[in-house]
Structure 1
Amino acid sequence: MIKIVSAFLLTCCFFSATAQYDDAVGIRFEDDWFLGSYKINMSNRMSVEGFGGFDAQGFVSLYKVGAEFQLNTEIPEVESLRWFYGAGAGLVFGDFSRVQAYGTSGLDYTFAEIPLNLSFELMPGMYFGDFGNDFEIDFALSARYILGQ
């Protein structure tokens, strides 16, 4: 995980761009999940991300859908890089069912030369459902194509 974060931050240092875009669609890797992602920037300050997909381990048949609300803050020292925080919820279903409620914080970077957005986030939260209740800290890495750029 350290290598992924380091590669992400180094990439951000070598490219510049504007951090604002309207819509982006792409992929999201979250722990053992492979998810599709759609992100909408409602303003410079607020974003909503929806996602859905399946368990990438393949041991059981599981699917996940969810959404996040994010508040964004520009990082003036690095053009096109911003950090965000917010809250999200998800539903896991298939061989068993769970509901997830979590906080989120992370980094969001947009490239100027190409229509690409990358984000990395940390998501501490609670799972409720089959197998009892559980506290987990999840990580996610997303790569999105910026629509209309």
Structure 2
Amino acid sequence: MVIFSSVGGTTRKVAQRVAGRVGDELLLSAREAMSLPLSRRVERVLLFCPTYGDEELEENFEDLLLRYDWAALEGAGFAFCELGIYTGYENFGHGLERIVCRTLIDHGLHQLVPSLSVDAVPITDWVMVDAWSDLILSRQTVS
């Protein structure tokens, strides 16, 4: 299962690309995921979110993180990717990682791969995204 939150479309494009590379057919916006009951065993959830500043979540993703029934996914693996503008920051990585990963781990999910922070402006680093996709594939396959 791939869940993304996107305002301008970049995060959606990255989520679509990763979903295609890892063979995950269930691609949902954060809003769609909130209204979809889990009808099958989810082994892996990949999460994508734009970041707007120091640990600032996009509104729909924050809603998902706080209200989704993550306990229903206990035992599943997860991977998290954040996208933003990091030019000019000395420590640009993982602004949302601590919040997102701690929430999921506290609900019994386990992290498959290190989180990915992508500087998506002015262009997305597709080589980095593809390498991260390959790392996910090497850790767990979708049944």
TM-score (norm 1): 0.28
Structure with the largest fraction of helix: 2
Structure with the largest fraction of strand: 1
For the pair shown, the structure with the greater C-alpha radius of gyration is 1
TM-score (norm 2): 0.29
Task: Say which structure, 1 or 2, has more relative contact order (CA 8 Å, 6+ apart).
Answer: 2
